[in-house]
Amino acid sequence: MSEKQPKQKNTALIFADILAARISRRQALKGLGLGGSALMLAGCGIPGGNNVAGKNDVAAGSLTFKELPHGLDPHLAVAQGYNAQVLLSWGDPLFSDVPEFDPYAQTPDRQSKQFGYNNDFIGFVPLPLGSDHSDQGLLVVNHEYTRPSMMYPGSPGRHQLDKEKSLNDMMAHGLSVVEIRKKADGQWQPVLDSAYNRRITPLTEMQMTGPAAGSSRLITSDSPDGVRTLGTYGNCAGGVTPWGTILTGEENVDFYFAGDFTDSGEQENYQRFGMKTEHRGSWSRHFERWDMRQTPAEPLHVGWVVEIDPFDPQSVPKKRTVLGRYKHEGAYVFINHDGHVVAYSGDDEQFEYLYKFISKGKYQQDNRRANMDLLDDGTLYCARFSDDGTLTWLPMVFGQGPLTTENGFNSQGDVLLDCRKAADLLAATPMDRPEDVEVNPANGQVYVMLTNNSRRTAAQTDGPNPRAKNRDGQILELIPPDGDHSAERFSWEMFLIAGRKGAPGTQYHPDISENGWLANPDNCAFDKLGNLWIATDGAEQHQVADGIWACEVEGERRALTKRFLRTPVGAELCGPFFTPDSENLFCSVQHPGDKSSFEKPTTRWPDYDPNMPPRPSVVVITKDGGGRVGS
């Protein structure tokens, strides 16, 4: 992966000095009343979220659950007094005419009507749209990738699948849209044959929109106009818009391609994206669409944010090119106080960048149709951090600064197709794998999950990325001035630096328990009181399970993380998402038993059936007897 040369670190400015300066500055800002966002619209970033607390309503001591101990075993565990219901698992039918899941008899047709594999992002949109109902809605779930060795008898490698199994594998990708309801006994259930139920796969017809749509660089046999396109895959995190659509981010799409691309005209772009000539999967062996020798432009059709209308199963999903092409972890949408739409996203790779988009048009609360194309026109920015606690958002506009024909850009579409190169030239700050980026609707501040960066050297460290060989990650807090997310200059704080308690370089609340430390923050969510819920991916390097930790973001308990949930061995926890009343927490348990085998898995969660492999599943967490999760 090519990258701009790092600025040499001033060795006199060691991490302790930076941290002391940050804490001192934070205290000064608080004293002046400038430490947070002032002009917030409670719940404006979440459909049905009008029960979200305002900044002054964030309750101290609101996380009173008994902390769950660390551990690593074949089971899912949740804090005492809570129930974890398995709601949907890989292979569960979405329609009544589909046979029950049988891992020994899977077909592409069956899988195309079943819940997909490796669920990641979860979005819940209440029914009816615009309500704050928390007992009925549409669940939209990403299916990021597959693990054939855990799916098929004989544990084949992903490059060993025949054409039929490859097509079945393909149908396990994409997204599932499922109507769900809460029964009188408090249990949730999917509604089979709901008019809303839908599988979206790599073969679903889609449309490119925005500045890159119609580019000659996008023309293929499936897309003779550079507008029509097919499918989505590699879907990691996402977002739910205030107008009730779903955003899904395409991330590690390079693994699906193979073939010599030296004559494609896109060699620099593809090398930067991680494309390889050798096969790393089976699709490129059996389908010319993923063979770059035969279809050299196809890789440019992925790496985007896709917008889906879950309320219209016949709608054509849109790839919103104005948000840029890179390895999107997700896209979180927030309505600024002036009505403009702001979308934050991270490029989930080591030394890649953080981005912000601001729409040209304004959100109209009572006019859904007027909002449906707000993500087609506006300005994309990349982030440059300074060690003095400031952050500058750099506009990525063709013809401005270095984004000119002299540097290989001939249009705004080219800037977006070559987003990483453009951010390099603008001298954005290379980050430690920026993953989920979300706005806390209670205080209007932005929280950035940075997972790790083992390749960072001591000479490459800086304020927001303070550790060399960073295995454990950190969380940043971005503060827009006066709550204005359209501002080009923010301030930033270090919220916590993850890793085993007491390890050099970690930063937690001083009262953290032996079970409160975490590693590799990945996804996050906020409850209606503004508490931060952190999902992790990588804690098993410390011989403890991944899971969820929760903490307050203000006051005496700021960043005092407490473990709430533990995944089965081999699994990571993805996509936490609350219902509007915060009494139901949906979570994705991805790849349980990972790196074992179909015949001898390290866990058989959630079925514990000797004839069944472990199955990635969505669980819903509720409090025994009802009430807010976390209380």
Yes or no: say if 305 and 319 are a contact pair by the CB < 8 Å rule. yes
End-to-end Cα distance, the chain: 45
Residue 128 preceded by cis peptide, ω within 30: yes
Contact residues for 163 (Cβ-Cβ < 8 A; gap 6+): 286
Give Dmax over CA atoms of the chain in angstroms. 68
Non-local (6+) Cβ contacts of 331 within 8 A are 238, 239, 247, 249, 305, 323, 343, 344, 345
Tell which residue, 585, 499, 504, 505, has the closest CA to residue 544: 499
Is 344 part of a structural domain of the chain? yes
Q: Does residue 84 sit within a domain?
A: yes
Mean pLDDT over 487-491 rounds to 98
Does residue 574 carry a pLDDT above 90?
yes
Q: How many domains does the chain have?
A: 1
pLDDT band at 130 (very low <50, low <70, confident <90, very high): confident
Mode of pairing for the β-strands spanning 119-126 and 136-143: antiparallel
Residue that is written with structure tokens 């990650």 in the block: 473
426 in a domain, yes or no?
yes
pLDDT at 452: 98
The answer to the question of residue 307 being in a domain is yes
Q: Is the pLDDT of residue 611 over 80?
A: yes
Q: What is the mean pLDDT of residues 197-207?
A: 98
Residue 164's SS3 state is: helix
d(CA 451, CA 536): 8
CB 239 within 8 A of CB 123: yes
Tens of pLDDT, residues 208-266: 999 999 999 999 999 999 999 999 999 999 999 999 999 999 999 999 999 999 999 99
**pLDDT exceeds cutoff 90 at 477:** yes
How far, in Å, CA of 250 to CA of 391, rounded?
A: 26
Question: What is the rounded CA–CA span in Å between residue 611 and residue 559?
Answer: 43
- Residue 197, both tokens: 């139920």
Which candidate, 461, 444, 535, places its Cα nearest to that of 498?
A: 535
pLDDT of residue 235: 98
Predicted confidence at residue 3, as pLDDT, reads 35
Residue 159 pLDDT: 87
Distance CA(122)–CA(538), nearest Å, equals 20
628 lies in some domain = no
pLDDT above 80: residue 514: yes
* Higher per-residue pLDDT: 158 or 439: 439
Would residue 278 count as lying in a domain? no
- Predicted confidence band of residue 585 (pLDDT cuts 50, 70, 90): very high
Domain that holds residue 49: 15-251+303-440+452-623
Residue 11 predicted with pLDDT over 60: no
Contact 621, 533 (CB under 8 A): no
CA distance 436 to 418: 22
Question: Phi and psi at residue 325, in whole multiples of 5°?
Answer: -105, 115
**Is residue 339 a part of any domain in this protein?**
yes
What pLDDT, on a 0 to 100 scale, did the predictor assign at position 58?
A: 54
Give the rounded distance of the alpha carbon of 543 from its chain centre: 25
Q: What percentage of the chain exceeds 70 in pLDDT? A: 91
**Span 464-468, average pLDDT:** 98
Q: Are strands 446-450 and 474-479 parallel, antiparallel or unpaired?
A: antiparallel
580 domain residue, yes or no: yes
Question: Which whole-number Å values give the CA distances from 152 to 115, 161, 165, 168, in the listed order?
Answer: 16, 10, 9, 11
Could you give the CA distance from residue 588 to residue 122 in angstroms, rounded to a whole number? 7
Burial of 335-361, coded b for 16+ CB within 10 Å and e otherwise, reads bbbeebbbbbbbbbbbbbbbbbbbbeb
- Decide which of 49 and 294 is more confident: 294
**Residue-averaged pLDDT of the chain:** 92
Q: Parallel, antiparallel, or unpaired for β 205-209 and 318-320?
A: parallel
Residue 599 phi, psi dihedral angles, 5° rounding: -80, -35
What is residue 5's DSSP assignment? P
DSSP secondary structure string for all residues of 520-578: -EEEEEE-TT--EEEEES-GGGGTS--EEEEEBSSGGGBT--EEEEEPPTT-EEEEEEE
**C-alpha torsion 420→424→426→427, nearest 10:** 130
Please tell me the distance from the alpha carbon of residue 574 to that of residue 344, in angstroms, as a whole number.
18
Say if residues 546 and 539 touch (Cβ distance below 8 Å). Answer: yes
- The Cβ-side half-sphere exposure at 274, using a 13 Å CA radius, reads 15
Which 3 state secondary structure label does DSSP give 155? Answer: coil
Chain segment 357-383, per-residue pLDDT in tens: 999 999 999 999 999 999 999 999 999
Give Cβ neighbours of residue 517 (< 8 Å, ≥ 6 apart). 498, 499, 500, 501, 506, 508, 561
Predicted confidence band of residue 591 (pLDDT cuts 50, 70, 90):
very high
Average pLDDT over residues 506-522: 97
| H or E element, residue 422 | helix 419-425
- β-bridge partners, 246: 240, 308
* The pLDDT of residue 418: 98
Average pLDDT over residues 590-606: 97
Predicted local confidence at residue 61, as pLDDT: 78
Q: What are phi and psi of 149, to 5 degrees?
A: -65, -20
For tokens 């209670």, what's the residue? 442
| pLDDT computed for residue 586 by the predictor | 98
How do beta strands 378-385 and 431-432 pair? unpaired
Q: In terms of Cα–Cα distance, which of 191, 177, 210 is closest to 412?
A: 210
Model confidence at 281, pLDDT cuts 50, 70, 90, reads very high
The sign of the dihedral angle between the CA atoms of 559, 563, 566, 570 is positive
CA separation (Å) from 269 to 29, 227, 264, 411, 587? 42, 20, 10, 16, 35
pLDDT tens readout for residues 397-443: 999 999 999 999 999 999 999 999 999 999 999 999 999 999 999 99
Beta carbons within 8 Å of 625's beta carbon, 6+ residues apart:
none
Given pLDDT bands bounded at 50, 70 and 90, which one contains residue 40? very low
Alpha-carbon gap, residue 598 to 600, rounded angstroms:
6
